[in-house]
Chains A and B, each alone.
Chain A
Amino acid sequence: MSIETVLQSIFTATFLASVIRVSTPIILPAMGGLISELAGVINIALEGIMLASAFFGVIVSALAPGWIPGLPIWAYAGMGAVAGILAGLILAWLIAFFHLELGADIILAALGINILAAGGTVFMMFAITGDKGSTSTLASPALPNVQVPFVNDVPVLGILLNAENFSGYNVMTYAAFILTIVVWIFLYRTPLGTHLRAVGENPDAAASVGINVKRVQYMALLMSGFLAALGGLNLSMGYLTIFQNNMTAGRGFIALAVIYLGNRHPFGTLLAALLFGAATSLGAQLGTLNIPSQLIEMLPPLVTIIALVVYNLRRRARATVNERKFQERAAG
């Protein structure tokens, strides 16, 4: 394969479709992390929450037919989804409780939750299936794909909106994009979202106007748990219908980087997440050119670090500029 062929294959709708698909489990936890970060309670347990929700989604949806037989498959899938979301909410609540009520450091508490999820999922998986690697012995359903009607015959758009083989993306993918907009509306158009951003930026100012800072931070953490849980469900009940040990593979931490790379704004975060997804997809493509995928995968985290450096340098430059400006004013 030559460079031209690879380049050609990148600038196709097919490639973009794969990027969209691959980015979904990054976008969702990133939105959750964004909300908690903007409220001043950064949640670094997105990884653990995704793992837990992925696990419970599979387990409950696989075992539910044994509890309540006779329902259609989508009902069991739905029960699994509910279970996964609950798992995420509970873990997020634990972080909130330990940090806001018991004074635990939020980073350390979240680390504890990560370890709890990593160990707990394997522990329970073994207890239920006897297998420590995956739930391959269980038959677990997937959450449905959604097809956008009427567009399949439209070039480019058809693939873009309905994935490579026109069968539609997993519902979570559409959810990811829709939720990005919802999160934006929430943060910038609703009173609660505005209060949340105020709490994160200046909790004293928020408290002085009667905003209950603790309550807002509780809610922010719960919301982050909810969104991260959706990301986890996408992993184990999307294109894969299985739970594997450590299947999140660091996406929860990538989600954190994506928030900063995206300048802590929903749309920037979305773009940054797509960038990371593109790197992963690109890595696969360039494998045919004998360019190792690892080089490509190194780029987004490198870009993130550079972005942070630039941001901090600019912040310092602005301060010195202010000082100089007023020096001139004072002298003159």
Chain B
Amino acid sequence: MMRTSFWSELVRIGAVVSVALGIGFLITCFVSEEPVAAFRELLTGPFPKISFADGFQVKGMNRFGDWIAESITLVLLGLAIAIVFRARQFSLGADGQLLLGALAAGIVSLFVDASIWIHIPLALVAAMIAGFLWGLIPGLLKAYIGVDEIVSTLMLNVIALQLYQLLLTQWLRDPTAGFVGTENFPVTAVLPVIVPKTRITIALFLALLAVVAIWFLLTRTPLGYEIRIVGANLRFAEYGGINTKWVIAVSMALSGALAGLTGAYLAMGLLKKLTLNLSPGIGFEGIVVALLARNRPFGVLIAGLFYGYLRTGAQIMERSSDVTREVVMVIQAVIILLITAERLFPLFQEWRKRRSDALIVTDLAGGEGA
């Protein structure tokens, strides 16, 4: 697979996104009385509206806050996936690692008494350790025994879910709540909001820090170099002296740590407790983000913001129209299919070339005959 130039990549991504949005609009037309209005809400909803009517006013901050809050989740997950995909490992274990991270954070939040300066970092670190270990297991199995990581991570997801639900229902459950969940976390374990009237918490800094950290890891550390080379050509990496087994295991473990951190964010930043259904399947959305970003950290930031925007826009659209937010998932699916179709762009170019060749021929023929 040749690495095409940056601009042609950008054009390709732009084309794919446009087509996907177009298809999304098309199906919206089928189900909605006012598709244009609905889609406009999708595309513009999350933006705060600035008006000068009664002096400088900014409206819709909470929608904007939702956008950022959603994006944080997607950016963190996207980074988790980007690391393993960079090393060319198909680890699908983000869901399970996320759950165990949330669980670890929840346990620390509920059972440790400390000031906020200690409580929050402790919980976050616990979450990252839990995710790290849960990612290390399939990593070691793959690297040293050769167990395929797709099946092992899917199975570990199931085990993690059962473990999470077990501990939640048997031990951590708040009997006074109307649903299955823990008590609210103490205020020392809740991520503080930084923009009033929104759900934007200090997690924003965490996410940005994570982007920079992963970028730093991949470009400014020897391990990052090893991950990139292992992903580019495993046998070349071995020939050059890199300990590829270790790199494979560590890449999956680091991915787990980030997924665990995401779980902690969901629990401590958004829900402020643990519930039974902690966003199932969101791990796969991380894959979409990473794909669109071509596994580059800053690309993940942008792709995460883009997806967060779409998801929030979809929620806004759902509240104000007759279109449900799942249309975004359809758009996501189209994006994945088109992005991963490697031969689509070359085939398209070939088709264009053939058409222009044919036009030239008919031109000449027409010229001759005339």
Contacts and interface: CB of A to CB of B under 8 A. Distances in A.
Contacts of B159: 298, 301-302
A305 B152 contact: yes
B341 A123 contact: no
Given A294-B162, A308-B147, A308-B152, A102 B342 contact: yes
B344 A108 contact: no
Contact of A305 (B150, B156, B165, B333): B156
Interface string A72-91: 00000000000000000000
Interface stretch (A155-163, A178-186, A309-317): A309-317
Contacts of A257: 151, 154-155, 158
A309 B146 CA distance: 8
A65 interface: no
A109 B147 contact: no
Interface stretch (A189-197, A248-256, A324-332): A248-256
A94 B337 contact: yes
17 contacts: A94-B337, A101-B343, A103-B344, A108-B291, A111-B284, A112-B332, A113-B337, A115-B285, A118-B326, A118-B329, A119-B330, A119-B332, A123-B329, A124-B31, A301-B155, A305-B141, A316-B146
A254 B329 contact: no
Contacts of B340: 98, 104-105, 108-109, 112
Interface residue SS majority, chain A? helix
Contacts of A120: 326, 329-330, 333
B326 A108 contact: no
Interface in B145-173: 145-148, 150-152, 154-159, 162-163, 165-166, 169-170
A254 B155 CA distance: 8
A292 B291 contact: no
Closest 5 CB pairs between A and B?
A119-B329, A116-B333, A112-B336, A294-B166, A127-B31
A295 B166 contact: yes
A92 interface: no
Interface residue SS majority, chain B? helix
A178 to B, nearest CB: 27
A122 interface: yes
A304 interface: yes
Interface residues of B, number: 49
Contacts of B163: 294, 298
Instruction: Pick from A308, A315, A316 the residue with the most CB of B within 10 Å.
Output: A308
Contact of A103 (B31, B281, B343): B343
A119 B280 CA distance: 13
A297 interface: yes
Contact of A315 (B31, B146, B148, B157): B146
B58 interface: no
Given A108-B340, A253-B158, A122 B347 contact: no
A8 to B, nearest CB: 26
Given A103-B344, A309-B145, A309-B147, 19 more contacts: A102-B347, A109-B340, A109-B341, A113-B337, A115-B333, A116-B334, A116-B337, A123-B31, A123-B326, A126-B326, A253-B154, A253-B158, A256-B151, A257-B151, A294-B162, A294-B169, A297-B158, A304-B155, A308-B152
Contacts of B333: 112-113, 115-116, 119-120
B155 A122 contact: no
Contacts of B170: 292
Contact of B155 (A116, A119, A126, A305): A305
B250 interface: no
B271 interface: no
Contacts of A135: none
A118 B279 CA distance: 13
B90 interface: yes
